[in-house]
Amino acid sequence: MTRKSFIFLAAIFLLGVIFRFYLLGSIPNGFHRDEVFLGYNAYSILKTSRDITGNFLPLHLASFLYTPAGYSYFSIPLIALLGLNEFSIRFASAFFGAVTILLVYFVSRLFFEKIFPQKSKKINLISLISAFFLAISPWHINLSRTASVSTLVFFFILLGLFFFLRWVKISKNVYLFLTYLSFFISLLFYIAPYSFLPLLIPVLYVVYYKDLRKKKLLTNSVLFIIFMILPLVYTLISPNLSLRARTVGITGGEIPKILSAELIGEDGVLGTPAFVTRVFHNKPVIYANIFLGNYFQHFSYDFLFSDKGFPDRYRIPLSGLMYLFDLPLFILGIITLAASKKRYAYLLFAWVIISPIGSALTFDDVPNLQRTLFLVLPIVLINSYGLVWVWDNVSKNHMFRRLIFAFVVIFFLWCFIFYIHEYYIHGRLYRPWYRQDGYKELVTKIASLEKNYQKVVITNRESGPTLFFLFYLKYQPSLFQQETKNTSMHDFDRIAFGKYEFSEEECPLREVIDKSGHLSLSGEKNTLYVNSGLCKMGIGINVISTIKRADGSKVFYIVEK
């Protein structure tokens, strides 16, 4: 790398760090339940070597649908250093998100060396642009600024790809081992790689077959089985480890069953022969239709270029996962790479095709930007190549070239500044209920009042109240484990502890009609209640405080009888 390239890469990295760390603890506004789960479990492991359920150094969190515990472990150093807070929990995602920018540069260099041998300047330019595009990618920035396991998964998959490309180039077996080790580590964070990597690795074999023929293909296959296939099989046959996949998978949803019953019932009414019903309205046909519908939604304009992606908490008003200027570059990149007839280019095309498969196999929050973050790599590489191709092939007329350059820069700046404005200004107020906004203020207020009451009863309607109180109170994990060790409740979203109880009722303190037909209040004296902000305050209910979201909407009432 030349000194000039190093300076450019350092500047791009610094830009990416700023966009991932600036106001990280407060933006996005609110702190989502998933972040709290990962954060408090990390705090519990730090303090007791056990998660909140009492499992010793677990690889999966039983309280969180047996989600891999990798992110919690990576959060422990910052919690130990800075304490339990939003910044320390989000740090791991932001850190690995920033480091991925550097990794993309080196992956891009190794990849394009095969396509453009002897063209080091062009390869370096494409690689710098790829790193820059990732640094400013809305998709990657949005996820890097929350406690998102996808960001770490993306890093380790790219790290594995980097080691693989190094092994192809240098042929040192240590790189091959590091390839599969990196891929395996990605499995310790999220379930999505289980559907992506077993498809990607055979693609690598096919694309780089001529390079692998002289190498140890048998060694590759053995490592693939050990690090990928065996963990996949073990996860699928384990009732606990497969719980999350079964919970969100299309076979676990009710819609296919309802649709099948409806169609079969209509055939029965119409007197359709039974064999016709079995041919057209069976489970494989229904699941295939749902899968294909889910799959192609991930390539829609709504998902990529507007704010229609899921989960809702990542939506930025009027902003997509890609910029509009990415669209022509991506199309040009696809066409020109395909025209080059370089077999290595087909790795990017295959990567695009297989990325949404895992997400398409689910029914919850589809199309999903977390489960398909893998798509960002081929997008930035293809876009970078497309941009360089445009620059190399525009008219040699300097005036025309300057006009094209000015148009591209203005269009780019408008898209980029618009996104930054929407994220940092409007994003603070945009649909804050999806990010459980208000819990921090609620816990702070309750902590100042609880000493005057024997018990505190909190509504569960805003999702996961137990974890929010544990997190913001910095409740001792050992004490919580002791208090809950004999409970049979598995829903740790609302398990009682200390003087805190969590109610299924939206309004734990409300007007009721007693047996004599008179209007009275539910609840008990000397008890502090937290009602939903949607509750009506009846006569005799004393409203102590009203908790509001950032947009001014009411989320909680703190009340007493």
Per-residue pLDDT tens over the stretch 374-416: 999 999 999 999 999 888 877 666 777 778 788 888 999 999 9
Rg over CA atoms, the chain: 27
Note the Cα 404 to chain centre separation in Å.
Answer: 37
pLDDT of res. 557: 96
What pLDDT is attached to residue 178? 96
Q: What is the pLDDT of residue 489?
A: 57
Token pair belonging to 560: 């007493």
- Section 332-360 average pLDDT: 92
What's the rounded Cα separation, in Å, for the pair 173 and 278? 53
- Binned at pLDDT 50, 70 and 90, residue 488 comes out as low
pLDDT value of position 345? 92
End-to-end CA distance of the chain: 71
215 pLDDT exceeds 70? Answer: no
- Spatial separation of the C-alpha atoms in residues 34 and 58, rounded to whole Å: 17
Q: Is the pTM of this model over 0.85?
A: yes
The pLDDT assigned to 248 comes to: 81
C-alpha–C-alpha distance, residues 447 and 457, integer Å: 13
Under a CB-based contact definition with an 8 Å cutoff, are residues 320 and 307 in contact? Answer: yes
Condensed to tens digits (0 to 9), the pLDDT of residues 426-458 reads 988 888 889 999 999 999 999 999 999 999 999
Whole-number mean pLDDT of the chain? 90
What pLDDT was estimated at residue 200?
95
pLDDT at 486: 76
Amino acid at 158: L
Contact 124, 109 (CB under 8 A): yes
More confident residue, 401 or 309: 309
pLDDT of residue 395: 63
Concatenate the DSSP letters of all residues of 191-214 into one string.
Answer: STHHHHHHHHHHHHHHHTHHHHTT
- Main-chain phi, psi angles of 68, to 5 degrees: -55, 140
Joined together, the tokens standing for residue 229 give: 């296939």
Tell me the pLDDT tens digit for each residue of 101-129: 999 999 999 999 988 887 888 999 999 99
Farthest CA pair distance, the chain: 92
What is residue 418's DSSP assignment? Answer: H
**Residue boundaries of the structural domains of the chain:** 3-30+85-251+304-428, 254-283, 436-560
- Report CA 213 to chain centroid distance, whole Å: 37
Q: Calculate the alpha carbon distances from 414 to 131, 138, 139, 379, 417 in Å.
A: 20, 14, 17, 20, 5
CA angle 463-467-471, nearest 5°? 130
pLDDT tens for residues 135-183?
Answer: 999 999 999 999 999 999 999 999 999 999 999 998 888 999 999 999 9
Nearest to 22 by CA among 373, 322, 423: 423
Structure tokens at 279: 């041919």
Sign of CA dihedral 247, 251, 255, 257: negative
Distance of CA 156 to the CA centre of its chain: 15
pLDDT tens profile 246-298:
778 787 766 777 777 777 777 777 777 877 777 777 778 888 888 999 999 99
Going by pLDDT thresholds of 50, 70 and 90, the confidence category of residue 14 is: very high
Q: Distance between CA atoms of 423 and 310, rounded to whole angstroms?
A: 16
210, two tokens: 């001529």
Do the Cβ atoms of 310 and 294 come closer than 8 Å? Answer: no
pLDDT in tens, 31-61: 999 999 999 999 999 999 999 989 999 999 9
Q: Is 193 helix (H, G, I), strand (E, B) or coil?
A: helix
> In the predicted model, what is the mean pLDDT of residues 307-329?
93
Give yes or no for a contact between 111 and 344, defined as CB atoms under 8 angstroms apart.
yes
